[in-house]
Structures are given as structure tokens and as C-alpha cells.
Amino acid sequence: MSGVLPRGTPLTPGGGPVGGTTAPRGEIVTLTSKGGSILHMNTPDLGLPVDVPSTALFTDQYELTMLQAALRAGTAERHSVFEAFTRRLPEGRRYGVVAGTGRVLDAVENFRFDPGVLGFLREQRIVDERTLDWLADYRFTGDIWGYPEGEVYFPGSPILRVEGSFAECVLLETVILSILNHDSAIAAAASRMSAAAGGRGLIEMGARRTHELAAVAASRAAYVGGFDSTSDLAAGFRYGIPTVGTSAHAFTLLHDSERDAFRAQVDSLGRGTTLLVDTYDVAEAVRTAVEVAGPELGAVRIDSGDLLLVAHRVRQQLDDLGAVDTRIVVTSDLDEYAIASLAAAPVDAYGVGTQLVTGSGHPTCSMVYKIVARAQSADAAAPLQPVAKKSTGGKTSVGGRKWAARRLDAEGVAEAEVVGTGPVPQELAGRQLLVQLVKGGEVVSRESLDAVRERHIAARAGLPMSAMQLSRGEPVLPTEFV
């Protein structure tokens, strides 16, 4: 399933692969209507046939029962502050990656209780009529601040802060956590794989290993974390991620001989295509591939066997046959550890599926969404009061609306994540991490995926070198609460 750039060509965001296709890279797509007028649309606005008209039911029932009870008690309109954070990183992880923020903004905008949704809630007697009337007019009108997408985070980091009435904020808990927990887990795995790859190409190809909609989100998160392309056309269509793909073993087995299969593929896709060479005998397949495509053959893909040994043998064979620019792509259930073990192999790109879309053993980030402050009454002038859960078992939280900043050492390398509720120390004022994403219910910060991807590369580069270690260890930065 791999199409790759010719050997030696830098893999940079926006580059189109040989033997594959490239989706539009910009956020804006221009369409012409039947009347001849020009329509400018964000690529997410184009939608997919499997899209749902509202995100309002991507929630747990208790969000609505809390709303009903708060409306009855007269506390629903109290100004409240909720924060999304994690108490710990997955075991062995040195840092987390914020991903899914753009999808959260879309979800908040589409959180609407249309007549069909209200009818379902009425029929199932989920909430009473007063609550249904309130939900019919629901629009989030508050503010959202958060770490910019692509940034790294640590235990206790206030990754997302949602402010507004209790009623409008509490309803967003499940959909926010669903997106952030999934996407950040995939992005963290992708980031580790990207670091292990050391600049070699990375292809996301896990669509067949997860839910069809999760696959699209996973591809987006993988791109944020450092992958270069995806095999999933839905992700390419929706988010403008470069797509690649050539053939599977079935295509070879369809033909009477491997030579016939290679000839058919080269005739169709050109000499720059990627030929799969491990259906039968690898050495014979490589020889045949070069005979059919010539030394201009784009790449060969190896999907089985001792990848380290086979890659060395294939590289030597390709060079002996004069195909010195033909690249080698390896697949076969890779993860960051397998990628790191191939660092000394003459591999040009890796295709990763199952381990990527399942978070490489950690499919969630265990983020939570907790109320940290609320007004003493529904009066708009009522002061905020810090609140926090206090319990045993490590589930305590810190009350109060928080800021976060990253302190650097004398060399400009991050040395601590500083989180506070009071005034920001002057020396940290220029290092604050939270940015405003929504103001008065309106999205004020949307970015292209390329900008997000570049931010992650820069954020990761600003961490201590030990952040790149795959061995078990504690978070690379301590979190200091002040």
C-alpha cells in the first residue's frame, strides 16, 4: 500500500508522492456553483456521507440529567470553569501530544439539538419538557482556551479550559474527552515513531485496523505527530493529507506470474511506482522488478521476514542491478521499537498500521474534564470560587482557573511545566502556553494541519534529549504548581 518519493528526495509537508495522489493542501477549497458564483469552503465543510448532522448525542446521559437537576435547582446558569487534563502519562511515556483541538472546535460548533435529536430524548424520556425546551435553543456562548494543537503536555497541564454557564459547559464533557483522548493518544504514538524514524518517511496505513471514522481521525492525528502521508482516502479528502497507495499481494496473485503483475502496474502507474516484492521469493522479485521497470523504479516494498536482514540484501541487490535511487519501504506490524531497531538498515520509509491507530499500546491518554471554579450564584457579577474533588486513590485535582507556562534553562531547553492560579510571574509572562480558541461562542483560532504539524516538531525539539528515549522513564519535565 505504499507509494513513495524517489530516493533522496526530502519528505516535506505538501510534497506529492510518486505513484500516489495528493489531496488539496490548503484549508480553502474553491467551487463553482451552477449559477457561476464562486464558493469558498473549508475542507471540513465538504463533509462525508457518513457524517452526522449534530454532535449533541456524542455525550453520556448523565450530562443531561445533571442539566435537568441544575435547571430545577436554579444553579444551571452559574458561571463555571472546566479544565481537561491528565493526572499521569501512560507508562513509559516522556511527554504527551495535544491533538484533536481542531476537531473539538468543529464539534462545539455542531453541538445542536435538532428536532430529530429532541424527539429521541422525548421518546426515551431522558429529560423533562423544561430541559428539552432549554436544549432546543442550545448554543455554546462561552470561551475556550487551550494548549495550541501540536504542543506537548505533561501531568496536570490544563490542556483545555472551558468557561461559561454550568449548563452549557457540562454538556461538552464527553465529546471533548472523546476527541482529545483518542487523537492525543495516536499523535503521541506517531511522535515517538517519528523520532525513532530519524527523518525517514512515515506512511499511516491503519484504516483496516480500526473503526472507519476513527481511521480518519487517526490519520489526522498521525500527521500532527509527524507522519508524512496516509493510505486513507477519506482522510485525504477531509483534511488534505497527502495520500499514497499502489498494490497489495492480491494484485500479484491475480496474475499468472509476478512479472505480469509488475508489468501491469508499471504500465499503469509508471516506473516511479512501488512494487511489492515479498509475495514469493524476494531476490527473484527484485530482479524481475528492475528488469520490468528499469533502474528508474521508484521503490520496492517488503512486508514480511527479518526486515533488517532482508533490507540489507535488497539494497545490495538493487545497487548491483544499477537501481541505486530505488527506495526501500518496509511494513509488517511496525511500532516505534521496531522502527528504532531498523535505524541501521538501508530503509527509506516505514508504513505503520495497527500499532499506530491503537496508540502503540496506549489507546487513550486518560484525560478528565473537571469543574475547577464556579460562581457563588447566577448573578453575572458573582465572584468565582475554586472547587476541587478530594478523594483517595490519586483522583484529587487542583481547584481554580489555571495558567501554564514552560520554564527554560540557560540553553533555551525546557526544564519545567509551571501551572498556577494566581498572578503569572514576570519571568514566565512570555512563556504562557494557553491561547484563546473560542470567544463568546465564536471560534477565533483555526489553523492548517501543516502549521500544527510544524508546531509539534518545534515543541518536541525544545524538550531535553531524553524525551526521545524509548526506554521506560518518568515525564521528561516535572510539573510545578504555584
The C-alpha cell of 253 is what?
496473485
Residue 186 has pLDDT above 70, yes or no: yes
Report the percentage of the chain scoring pLDDT > 90.
85
Q: Give the predicted TM-score (pTM) of the model.
A: 0.88
Binning pLDDT at 50, 70 and 90, where does residue 25 land? very low
* Predicted local confidence at residue 261, as pLDDT: 98
Which residue ranges form the domains of the chain, and what is each CATH number?
61-184+368-481 (3.20.140.10), 186-361 (3.20.20.70)
Torsion angle of the four alpha carbons 107, 111, 114, 119, in this order, in degrees rounded to the nearest 10 = 100
The C-alpha cell of 42 is what?
473549508
| Cross-sheet strand order for the sheet of 274-276 | 229-230, 201-204, 349-352, 327-330, 299-302, 274-276
Q: pLDDT of 36-68, one tens digit each? A: 333 333 444 444 444 456 899 999 999 999 999
Contact 36, 306 (CB under 8 A): no
Nearest to 57 by CA among 136, 112, 115: 112
H or E stretch at 265: helix 258-269
Using alpha carbons, list the distances in angstroms from residue 339 to 151, 350, 454, 466. Answer: 23, 8, 22, 18
Number of Cβ within a 10 Å radius of residue 453: 23
* Predicted local confidence at residue 330, as pLDDT: 98
Which amino acid makes up residue 439?
K
* Predicted local confidence at residue 54, as pLDDT: 85
The C-alpha cell of 418 is what?
509551571
* Predicted local confidence at residue 327, as pLDDT: 98
Between residues 380 and 346, the one the model is more confident about: 346
* Predicted local confidence at residue 475, as pLDDT: 97
Q: pLDDT of 368-412, one tens digit each? A: 999 999 999 999 889 999 999 887 777 778 999 999 999 999 999
Residue 92 has pLDDT above 80, yes or no: yes
Residue 16 has pLDDT above 70, yes or no: no
* Predicted local confidence at residue 52, as pLDDT: 52
Nearest to 217 by CA among 160, 173, 175: 175
* Predicted local confidence at residue 53, as pLDDT: 62
Between CA 229 and CA 213 the distance in angstroms is: 17
Residue 84 has pLDDT above 70, yes or no: yes
Residue 2 has pLDDT above 50, yes or no: no
Q: pLDDT of 423-468, one tens digit each? A: 999 999 999 999 999 999 999 999 999 999 999 999 999 999 999 9
Between CA 263 and CA 336 the distance in angstroms is: 35
Phi–psi pair at 81, nearest 5 degrees: -125, 125
Binning pLDDT at 50, 70 and 90, where does residue 474 land? very high
* Predicted local confidence at residue 390, as pLDDT: 84
Residue 28 has pLDDT above 70, yes or no: no
The residues that bridge with 423 in the sheet, in sequence order, are none
Q: pLDDT of 245-286, one tens digit each? A: 999 999 999 999 999 999 999 999 999 999 999 999 999 999
* Predicted local confidence at residue 38, as pLDDT: 33
The C-alpha cell of 104 is what?
473539538
Contact 365, 177 (CB under 8 A): no
Three-state secondary structure string covering 279-300: CCCHHHHHHHHHHHHCCCCCEE
* Mean pLDDT score of the chain: 90
Between residues 418 and 45, the one the model is more confident about: 418
Q: How far is CA 62 from the centre of its chain?
A: 28
* Predicted local confidence at residue 380, as pLDDT: 87
Residue 26 has pLDDT above 70, yes or no: no
Q: What integer is the mean pLDDT of 290-304?
A: 98
